[in-house]
C-alpha cells in the first residue's frame, strides 16, 4: 500500500514525510505538544524521530491500515535496526497528529 492510498490525510502526510526524509513536512503533520511512545515507553518525540527516522534513513512500507487509516501495520526499516514489522497507532485532532504509538508487531 502506498502512502497516497492511506485513508487518513494526516497519517498519509506523516508517512510521506518520513519516506521523503522531509523534516519540515514531518513537523507540519504534528500538533503542538504532540507525544509518542515506542514499545510502550514514552519517548522524547524530537530526539526519537531524529535518531530513529531522520539520521538513520527511516522508511515505512505500509502493509495494512485499520481504524480509518489511524492504525497501520508497517515494514519499518532504518540504517540502525534494519527492517522490522511494526504497528503505528495515531491520534488525530483538527487534522494534526497529537500522539502516535509504535512498536513491534
Give the SS3 label for residue 38: strand
pLDDT tens sequence across 92-105: 999 999 999 999 99
Name 71's Cβ contacts closer than 8 Å, sequence gap at least 6: 65, 87, 88, 89, 90
Percentage of the chain surpassing pLDDT 90? 97
**DSSP states of 86-105:** EEEEEEEETTEEEEEEEEE-
CATH architecture for segment(s) 3-104: Roll (3.10)
pLDDT band for position 56 (cuts 50, 70, 90): very high
**Three cell numbers at 73?**
501495520
pLDDT band for position 31 (cuts 50, 70, 90): very high
Q: How far apart are the first and last CA of the chain?
A: 17
For the chain, the domains span 3-104
The b/e string for 81-98 (b: 16+ C-beta within 10 A; e otherwise) is eeeeebbbbbebeeebbb
Mean pLDDT of 8-31: 98
Amino acid at each position: 500500500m502506498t502512502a497516497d492510498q492511506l485513508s487518513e490525510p494526516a497519517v498519509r502526510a506523516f508517512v510521506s514525510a518520513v519516506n521523503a526524509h522531509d523534516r519540515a513536512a514531518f513537523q507540519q503533520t504534528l500538533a503542538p505538544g504532540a507525544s509518542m511512545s515506542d514499545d510502550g515507553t514514552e519517548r522524547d518525540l524530537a530526539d526519537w524521530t531524529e535518531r530513529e527516522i531522520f539520521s538513520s534513513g527511516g522508511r515505512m512500507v505500509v502493509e495494512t491500515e485499520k481504524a480509518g487509516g489511524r492504525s497501520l501495520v508497517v515494514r519499518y526499516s532504518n540504517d540502525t535496526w534494519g527492517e522490522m514489522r511494526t504497528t503505528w497507532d495515531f491520534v488525530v485532532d483538527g487534522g494534526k497528529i497529537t500522539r502516535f504509538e509504535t512498536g513491534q508487531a
